[in-house]
Amino acid sequence: MLKDMLNNIQKKSLKERFLLVLGILFFLIYLVLGLMIMFWEKLPLNMETKYRYAFGGLLIVYSAIRFLRLINSKE
């Protein structure tokens, strides 16, 4: 499976590779932002703790959805 994925990446054009890297970058940005909102207490957000966890969890779920869409794209 990993060999097939690497072979698929090598077949992509330069534009498609750039978009793949950009997709991975934004996946990491949303994941880190969600974790920061949840666990960084000195982040200047005036939210209650339960709303911080809910918003951070929502961002993490969104990043997981983006990652799954990125992995499942066969173009």
Has residue 5 got a pLDDT over 70?
no
Nearest-Å Rg of the Cα atoms of the chain is 16
- Three-state DSSP class for 70? helix
- The interaxial angle of helices 49-72 and 14-39, nearest 10 deg, is 160
Across the range 1-16, mean pLDDT stands at 72
Q: pLDDT by residue (tens digit) across 11-61?
A: 777 888 888 889 899 999 999 999 999 988 887 888 888 999 999 999 999
d(CA 59, CA 1): 28
Can you give the pLDDT at residue 74?
62
Q: pTM higher than 0.85, yes or no?
A: no
